[in-house]
Amino acid sequence: MIHTKDRLLLKPWFSVFSALFLHQTVVLFLLGQSQVISTSQPIVAKVGDDITLPCHLEIAVDATDLTVEWARPDLQPRFVYLRRDGVELQRAEHPLYMGRTSLSTNELKCGDISLKLSNVKLSDTGTYKCLVPKSGTEYVVELTVGSVSSPDMKISKVSNGAVLQCESKGWYPEPEVLWLDSEGNLLSAGPPETVRGPDDLYTVSSRVTVEKRHSNRFTCRVQQKNTNQTRETTIHLPDDVFMDQCNFAVRITICSAVCFMSVMAVFVLWKCGQHQIKTTNGSTERQHLVEGDKMIQLDMKEEKLVEELQKNESDLKHVQQVITILTNQKKELENQREKLYSLLDEDRTRVEQNNKKLKKIPKTDTGKKMEKCVKTRKDLDRRKTEHDELLWNTEKLQETAEKMITIMTERKEKLERDKEKINEHLKEMERQREETKLQLEQQEREEEKIIHPPMMIYEK
């Protein structure tokens, strides 16, 4: 039986033990009832980034010695990070995440069990589950991994404006391509071309035809909505890119004329060379006739025929090349003529439309609208006149091309006939050589008999 005095002495110690017991009970209760929370927004990362998947205990207790699991249900094994009783179990983790996941020791003491993931890959995209087994509750974090790159732009000129080509490589997921003018308005373009490479990254390209505008500034925008990533390239086109249609036709016609002049010059030089060679060959032939020895003459004639055959084959090859050039030039002129026909039809249509507008405007109207229509009419008349002249020049050049093709074709046929004759002469020369060789051998045998007559044997 404890006396009253002893009770007074034990009371302070009893209070201390009670407080310690109550504190331990509260901690264990809170730990048993703690919940794991995480962000409801998906995490977006780019390839190669280092990111953190957030997750922490609702009650900030020390989680250093707790079991913490980070897993992806679609993998086998499913663990991307596993920690039990304060020790990381790397052997239980999926090989794809080996050495790329970790938890912060300092943050664990505050109940922060966020997962640090380094060098993010495309394959890391998926659903991650954060679990502290004592809580009995799982929470989900969505990770979306993307890849982006800035687009490149190229320019090519066409008769009615310019064609812009935009290409961007290394995207994931598949992006979309938009064309914008300087005011942010969408431009009409065809569907983009998309190619997926062996690395699962997408390459997209798109083309748009643009005409001259106030600022001539155009933007190619490549964007991916899921990752909220956008890359764009803006280009400013100078006014000379939008060359007038008639200037386009003039350039083609001038190029055609220059090509024909070049071909004509080559043809004239070639004819002069032919004349010089014939003169030289004639002198050589006269020199050969002076030679008295028949075998030597045959050798020299054969050598001359071989040279003529080689020259013939060279000329034949050259003529064939000229015919090919002329034929291609003729096709280009035919295409140019069709373009000019189309442009003239377009000119007539625009003139008719402009005339209708002029009729609708009252004659008393002297404002900008009337002035603009009158100026447009003058421009259309000037363009139509230029197109008519270009069409006439194109048709003349086309006729010249046809005549040149006929001349060169006839020359080719003549060279082919000459080649056949040279080959026949070579065969005849070979036959004469054999005959002459036999005659020389026979003559040598006869001379040998005269110099060394056969010995006669007499009988006694």
Task: Write the pLDDT tens digit of every residue in 22-80.
Answer: 333 333 334 444 455 555 678 889 899 999 999 888 887 888 888 999 999 999 999 99
Average pLDDT over residues 153-164: 82
CATH of residue 189: 2.60.40.10
Whether residue 13 is predicted with pLDDT greater than 60 in this model: the reply is: no
Domain membership of residue 3 (yes or no) is no
- Point out the domain boundary residue: 101, 121, 145: 145
Identify which has the larger pLDDT, 267 or 82.
82
- Do 298 and 404 belong to one domain? yes
> Is residue 9, in this structure, part of any structural domain at all?
no
The reply to whether 269 and 220 lie within a common domain is no
pLDDT at 245 over 80: no
Residue 457 lies in a domain: no
Amino acid at site 51: I
- Is the pLDDT score of 247 beyond 60? no
Say whether both 351 and 430 belong to one domain: yes
Q: Look at residues 145, 167, 191 and tell me which one is the last residue of a structural domain.
A: 145
User: pTM above 0.85?
Assistant: no
Q: Kindly state whether residues 200 and 301 are assigned to the same domain.
A: no
Answer yes or no: do 172 and 216 share one domain: yes
Provide mean pLDDT across the span 113-139: 89
**Same-domain pairing of 108 and 156:** no
Please give the pLDDT value at position 364. Answer: 64
Q: Which residue has the higher pLDDT, 442 or 219?
A: 219
Same domain, 281 and 356: yes
In a domain, 25, yes or no: no
308 and 442 part of one domain:
yes
Number of domains in the chain: 3
Q: Residue 165's pLDDT band (boundaries 50, 70, 90)?
A: very high
With a CB cutoff of 8 Å and minimum separation 6, the contacts of 195 are 202, 203, 204
pLDDT band at 270 (very low <50, low <70, confident <90, very high): low
383 in any annotated domain: yes
Q: Find the mean pLDDT for residues 81-89.
A: 90
Q: How far apart are CA 240 and CA 161, in angstroms?
A: 10
Averaged pLDDT for residues 188-213: 89
What pLDDT is attached to residue 275? 47
Residue where the block lists tokens 């998947």: 53
Residue 278 has pLDDT above 50, yes or no: no
- Shared-domain flag, residues 157 and 130: no
Query: Within this chain, do residues 187 and 237 fall inside the same structural domain, yes or no?
Result: yes
- Please provide residue 358's backbone torsions phi and psi, each rounded to the nearest 5 degrees: -65, -35
Q: Are residues 303 and 429 in the same domain?
A: yes
Query: So what's the pLDDT on residue 281?
Result: 44
* pLDDT tens string 392-445: 888 888 888 888 888 988 888 888 888 888 888 888 888 887 887 888 788 777
Q: What is the pLDDT of residues 304-347, one digit of tens each?
A: 888 888 888 888 888 888 888 888 888 888 888 888 888 888 88
382 domain residue, yes or no: yes
What pLDDT, on a 0 to 100 scale, did the predictor assign at position 69?
93
Residue 46 included in any domain: yes
pLDDT exceeds 80 at position 376: no
Q: pLDDT band for 202, please (50, 70, 90 cuts).
A: very high
Residue 101 contacts residue 81 (beta carbons within 8 Å): yes
Indicate which CATH number applies to the domain containing 366.
Answer: 1.10.287
- Who contacts 75 (Cβ-Cβ below 8 Å, separation ≥6)? 94, 96, 126
Which of 116-120, 196-200, 224-228 ranks highest by mean pLDDT? 116-120
- Domain that includes residue 257, residue range: 245-449
What pLDDT does residue 271 have? 59
Q: Which residues pair with 143 in a beta bridge?
A: 43, 126
Average pLDDT of the chain, as a whole number = 78
Q: What percent of the chain has pLDDT over 70?
A: 75
Task: Please give the average per-residue pLDDT across 86-112, as a whole number.
Answer: 91
CA atoms within 13 A on the CB side of 2: 8
Which of 93, 117, 145 delimits the end of a domain?
Answer: 145
User: What mean pLDDT comes out for the span 89-100?
Assistant: 92
Query: How much is the average pLDDT of 368-383?
Result: 76
- Residue 170 domain-assigned? yes
- Residue 235 pLDDT more than 70? yes
- Are 442 and 420 within one domain? yes
pLDDT at 158 over 50: yes
Determine the pLDDT at residue 12: 45
The two tokens of residue 45 are: 């990362």
Higher pLDDT, 326 or 220: 220
pLDDT at 384: 82
Return the pLDDT at 21: 38
